[in-house]
Structures are given as structure tokens and as C-alpha cells.
């Protein structure tokens, strides 16, 4: 077994360079003090921010300076912590970052309530000022909240109750991540292993069917033993959101939670109806799995089984870089130049080390590089993850270079589009250029898993969440049996006669943390559909990339749906979703053809 290295054993060229933010930790702490001074200066305007135009200008200039400082503070402090989470010095720095953000949020929280009290005529007069004119979109967006804003006393009461609103989610997280103890199973080698949330995903991918079945049934039976507690916890979350939406005068919870991104409910419903209508693709996909596993009956625990051998190909960091450069060269020289900067200026922390945070992410913004954390071990999936995170970093870089600081952060709704576009462009490049049949089959199975998990499964989650809220908003009682039966019926609807649905599947809903994310999961599916459309058009039309670069550069200067229209994506139209389902189907057929060649 290869020994994991300490941080100081990793070569410098494979670690990110945070000195581009602060040369020393002392510089970080100096900016903490500078940020506190700005926060105090802004707080001194409480109650009189909009009293005069000059007050407003001074406040907003301070806010821009604070945003710049806070981005540097967060980017440096959290990155240092994530290098080695066991380092007490950087554990303390992490807490310092959290604290300054909390202080900033508390002391600047009066801005929106004060804005909503000012008459429109005064705001329009202020917007004639050259400096303030750039805030028109922000002020227009804030104005939308006027009818959903309560009196000062009522808003203050809600603010004081804010921590209680997340109690159900926190309870679920503690139960799911810390307190649930799962039974043991016998693994492929005959060893007795305790199931965990982490290793369940490994066992459900096993090529040994007995292991898959044992893991699935024992895992979900544990949730079944807690069905009353988990149902009560989730329904507490649902009822809280319903109460808040009514208090804030929204017509429904969905309206309130899609409101921030200006996403109409029709986009949500269009996704569900379009995906469900494509039974041809769903049937084709499950038929392929049954063929590959040589099964007479396909069960839910068979769906994720690995039916291709992972390629033995291994890549160095430099080889990964060259492959990504070649795959993304279709995006033009400027894009490649920015990719070069990510490598040459050491934005990327490549290697695993003791104490390093797991997973992968891109993080940065105005005034810093868009740093990437990953744990590169040379597999194709590591190359794909790197391309994915570089998509986020390029999106951030283009937005920050082309937008004022106040519009430099793009919305979560479009955040996965650029990253998944890179992922798809890489996969298409590898399918075209790899000489290894084994590797191509492995990449195709990864693509099939991606489209199934993101388009089909997440859409089913969308429908479950929508239907449960609809029941409660009509004051129809919901029990654990209601939740189980609704989820089981949806599985029947989506899987059809292709999959045998074991009784344990009823309890799968209760382990999904995304149901506490408040109508979030549809964004995964719409982002993949958009990325599918974009990547196909980039490869088909060289001039299309200019639209894509413009999209990357738009930040939050446009509403999310208008950003996507730059690249001809209309999520109110079922065509974009259908094209993604068509592509999914084409990968199924391509897999069969290659396997039989």
C-alpha cells in the first residue's frame, strides 16, 4: 500500500501558490483588521444609508472594498485550512474567517430593509449619478422583494429565529453522518466490513451481485428502522418552508425558492414532463445494463454495477494537462492561455497529503486566482475531475475579468454549466482519440452513469419533492407511509417494467440529503442539459464558441435564463432536454456497437 505523504513532502510545483494573495499569514491578519474597520464604517450609516446620495455612494464604495477584502480573506484562510485540516494554526484561521463573515453579515443586514423603505422616485434620482447608475440591476432585483418584506419588527423576529429554521436539516445531518450505525456485510474477499455512508457507494458498484444486494438491503433496512424519526424530521423541514412562504406572501414554496434566480415554475415542470416522456431512452438504458450483467431480472441494486473494467491507463499531471489542452482547444487561444495560467501560476493543489480535505472544488473570485483542490492519482476520472474544476475556474476568471466586482459572481443556477461542458468535451475528445477499446468503454459507462444519475434520477427527486410539498400545502396529512409509497410509485413510473423494485427501495427517499436543499436538485439536471447542448454546438460550429465565451463572461449582469439564451439555450423549451436525452441514447447505442466490434 502506498503511504500517503505529509504536506511538506509534496513537490512545490504540485501545490497551489497562495502567496499571490498574501505573502505571509501576518498579511492575512492585517486585512482582517482592515475589514473590521470597513465594517464599522458601514455600520455607522445604519438608518441613514439612503438619506443622501453621498451617504449611499460612500456606503457602496465601502461595500465594494469589503467584498474584495473578504474574498481574499476567505480564499486564503479556507485554502490554508484545507491543505491540512489537522493543523491547529489553520483551524484557528478558519474560525477567524467564519467570524468576520458573521460580523459583516450582521452589521450590514440593514441595507435591504432600508432600501425597501425608499420611494422609487428617490432611487431613480440617485441612479442618474454616474457611479450609482451601475447599480440599476441590483436595485431592480431588490425591488422585487418589496411585497415579500415584513415590518422591521417582524423581520427582526424572523432573524432571531433563523437558526431554528435549519434545525431539521441539522438533525438529519447529525443522524445521517454521525449517529446511524450500519450493520456489517461480507465483502468480495470474504472480509466482514461495517457499512458506512462512504463505503456504500463502493459496494453498490461491486461486480459481485451478492455484495451489491447485501449492501443495498442492509443499508436501507437501517433507514427503515428509523422511518418515523426521519419522516418527522423531513416533514418538520417541509412545514417550516411552507410557513415561511406564507408569512412572506408567496403563492407557494416553489415560487419562494425559485424567486431569487427568477426561474418560473414552468422550467421545473418542463424538465419533469420531458424526461418522463422519454421512455424509449429509459428502456434502452436498463436493457443495456441487463445485457451487460447477463441477468434475467434487473434489480435496483444492479443499476450501478461496474460492467466495464477500469482502464489501466495512468496519466501524469503533465499528460493530463496536455490532454485537457487538446480537448479544450476548440474554445480558442484566449481560453487556452487562461488554462496555461492555471498550471503555470500554480492555481492547482494536485496531490493527496495527510490531513488534506477530500473531494475537489474550485474557489476564488475578484482579486484572487480561482484555485483548485483535487487529489490526482493518475486515473482517467482524475483527469475528468481536473477538467471539470478548470471549467469552474475559467468561468470565474472570465466573469471577474469582464464584470465590475458587483456583478462578478455568477449564480448557482448556472454554476455547473461550464464545469460539465468541460467534462463532456474531454469525454468526446477521448472517445475520438483514444486507441484503447477498454478505455473507451469505461468512458462510455461513466457518461451513461452521469446522464442517468443527473437527468433521470435527479428529475425523479424533483418530482418527489414537488409532490410532497403540494400535499402539505393543501393541508393533506403526510406520514412515513405517504413518503414511502410516493417514492416507490415514482420509481415504478420512472423504471417501468425494466427493474424489479425490492421492498427496501421504499426507504431510499429518507437518506437523500438533497431533499433538505429546498428545490435545488433540478439545477443539476438543467445544467447537464445545457452543457450537453453547448458542448455539441461548440464541436459543430467554430463560431459558436464566441457565444460561449460571452456566456462565461456575463457574471451576474444578466438573469440566469437570459445568460443561457446567449448560448441559445431556452430551458422553457423541451428541445434542450430532449437533445440531452437523445445524446444519452446515442451513448447507449455507441457502447453496444463498440462492445460488439
| Active-site annotation, residues | 389
Angle between helices 265-277 and 458-473 (to 10 degrees): 130
- In whole angstroms, what is the distance from residue 223 CA to residue 511 CA? 7
Q: Three-state SS for 140?
A: helix
Q: Are 319 and 376 in contact (CB under 8 A)?
A: no
Q: What is the DSSP letter of 299?
A: B
CA torsion 321-327-332-336 (nearest 10°) is -10
Residues 6+ away with beta carbon under 8 Å from 66? 35, 38, 39, 42, 104, 108
For 571, residues 6+ apart whose C-beta sits below 8 A from its C-beta are 267, 270, 271, 526, 529, 530, 561, 564, 577
The helix (H) or strand (E) run that includes residue 185 is strand 184-186
| d(C-alpha 7, C-alpha 18), whole Å | 15
Q: What angle do CA 20, 108, 110 make, to 5 degrees?
A: 160
CA–CA separation, 414 and 396 (whole Å): 12
Shortest CA distance to 117 belongs to which of 94, 91, 149, 85? 149
SS3 label, residue 470:
helix
Rounded CA-CA distance 401/368 in Å is 11
Give the 3-state DSSP-derived string for 499-558, with helices as H, strands as E and coil as C. Answer: CECCHHHHHHHHHCHHHHCCCCCHHHHHHHHHHHHHHHHHHHCCCHHHHHHHHHCCCCCC
CB of 371 within 8 A of CB of 364? yes
Residue 433, C-alpha cell as written in the block = 482519440
Nearest to 102 by CA among 139, 73, 142: 73
> DSSP 3-state assignment of 348?
strand
Q: For residues 498 and 28, what is the distance between their CA atoms, to the nearest angstrom?
A: 57
Q: What are phi and psi of 378, to 5 degrees?
A: 95, 0
Q: How far apart are CA 360 and CA 85, in angstroms?
A: 15
Asked if 418 and 395 touch (Cβ cutoff 8 Å), the reply is yes
Cite the beta strand spans of 330-390 per DSSP E.
348-349, 361-363, 371-373
Dist CA 464 CA 470 (whole Å): 10
Give the separation between CA 264 and CA 553, rounded to whole angstroms: 24
β-strand pairing of 361-363 with 348-349: unpaired
Residues 429 and 335: beta-carbon distance below 8 Å = no
Beta pairing partners, 500: 299
Amino acid at each position: 500500500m502506498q503511504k500517503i505523504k505529509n504536506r511538506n513532502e509534496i513537490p512545490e510545483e504540485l501545490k497551489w501558490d497562495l502567496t499571490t494573495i498574501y505573502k505571509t499569514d501576518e498579511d492575512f491578519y492585517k486585512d482582517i483588521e482592515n475589514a473590521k474597520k470597513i465594517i464599522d464604517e458601514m455600520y455607522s450609516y445604519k438608518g441613514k444609508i439612503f438619506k443622501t446620495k453621498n451617504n449611499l455612494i460612500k456606503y457602496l464604495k465601502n461595500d465594494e472594498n469589503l467584498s474584495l477584502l473578504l474574498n481574499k480573506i476567505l480564499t486564503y484562510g479556507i485554502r490554508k485550512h484545507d491543505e491540512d485540516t489537522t493543523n491547529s494554526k489553520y483551524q484557528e484561521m478558519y474560525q477567524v474567517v467564519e467570524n468576520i463573515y458573521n460580523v459583516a453579515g450582521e452589521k450590514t443586514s440593514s441595507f435591504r430593509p432600508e432600501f425597501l423603505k425608499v420611494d422609487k422616485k428617490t432611487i431613480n434620482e440617485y441612479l442618474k449619478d454616474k457611479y450609482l447608475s451601475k447599480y440599476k440591476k441590483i436595485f431592480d432585483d431588490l425591488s422585487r422583494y418589496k411585497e415579500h418584506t415584513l415590518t422591521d419588527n417582524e423581520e427582526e423576529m424572523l432573524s432571531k429565529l433563523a437558526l431554528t429554521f435549519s434545525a431539521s436539516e441539522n438533525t438529519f445531518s447529525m443522524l445521517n453522518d454521525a449517529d446511524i450505525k450500519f450493520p456489517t456485510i461480507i465483502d468480495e474477499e470474504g472480509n466482514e466490513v461495517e457499512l458506512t455512508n462512504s463505503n456504500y457507494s463502493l459496494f453498490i458498484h461491486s461486480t459481485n451481485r451478492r455484495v451489491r444486494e447485501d449492501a443495498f438491503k442492509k443499508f436501507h433496512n437501517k433507514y427503515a428502522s428509523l422511518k418515523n424519526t426521519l419522516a418527522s424530521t423531513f416533514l418538520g423541514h417541509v412545514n417550516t418552508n411552507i410557513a415561511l412562504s406564507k408569512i412572506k406572501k408567496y403563492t407557494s414554496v416553489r415560487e419562494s425558492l425559485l424567486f431569487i434566480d427568477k426561474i418560473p415554475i414552468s422550467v421545473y415542470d418542463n424538465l419533469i414532463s420531458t424526461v418522463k416522456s422519454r421512455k424509449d431512452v429509459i428502456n434502452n438504458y436498463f436493457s443495456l445494463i441487463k445485457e451487460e450483467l447477463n441477468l434475467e431480472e434487473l434489480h435496483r441494486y444492479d443499476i450501478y454495477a461496474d460492467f466495464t473494467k477500469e482502464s489501466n491507463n495512468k496519466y501524469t499531471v503533465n499528460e493530463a494537462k496536455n490532454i485537457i489542452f487538446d480537448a479544450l482547444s476548440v474554445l480558442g487561444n484566449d481560453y487556452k492561455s487562461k488554462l496555461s495560467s492555471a498550471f503555470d501560476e500554480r492555481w492547482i493543489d494536485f496531490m493527496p497529503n495527510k490531513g488534506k480535505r477530500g473531494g475537489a472544488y474550485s474557489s476564488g473570485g475578484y482579486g484572487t486566482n480561482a484555485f483548485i483542490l483535487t487529489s490526482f492519482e493518475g486515473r482517467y476520472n482524475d483527469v475528468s475531475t481536473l477538467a471539470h474544476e478548470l471549467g469552474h475556474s475559467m468561468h470565474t476568471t472570465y466573469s471577474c475579468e469582464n464584470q465590475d466586482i458587483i456583478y462578478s459572481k455568477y449564480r448557482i443556477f448556472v454554476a455547473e454549466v461550464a464545469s460539465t461542458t468541460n467534462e463532456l468535451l474531454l469525454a468526446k475528445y477521448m472517445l475520438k482519440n483514444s486507441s484503447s477499446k477498454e478505455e473507451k468503454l469505461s468512458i462510455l459507462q461513466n457518461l451513461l452513469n452521469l446522464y442517468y444519475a443527473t437527468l433521470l434520477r435527479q428529475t425523479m427527486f424533483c418530482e418527489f419533492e414537488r409532490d410532497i410539498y403540494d400535499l402539505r400545502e393543501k393541508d393533506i396529512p403526510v406520514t412515513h407511509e405517504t413518503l414511502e409509497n410516493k417514492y416507490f410509485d415514482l420509481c415504478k413510473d420512472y423504471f417501468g417494467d425494466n427493474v424489479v423494485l425490492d421492498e427496501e427501495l421504499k426507504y431510499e427517499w429518507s437518506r437523500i440529503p438533497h431533499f433538505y436543499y429546498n428545490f435545488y436538485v433540478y439545477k443539476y439536471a438543467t445544467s447537464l442539459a445545457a452543457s450537453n447542448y453547448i458542448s455539441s454546438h461548440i464541436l459543430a460550429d467554430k463560431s459558436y464558441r464566441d457565444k460561449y465565451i460571452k456566456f462565461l463572461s456575463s457574471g451576474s449582469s444578466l438573469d440566469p435564463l437570459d445568460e443561457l439564451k446567449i448560448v441559445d439555450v431556452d430551458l422553457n423549451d423541451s428541445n434542450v432536454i430532449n437533445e440531452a436525452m437523445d445524446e444519452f441514447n446515442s451513448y447507449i447505442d455507441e457502447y453496444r456497437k463498440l462492445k460488439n466490434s
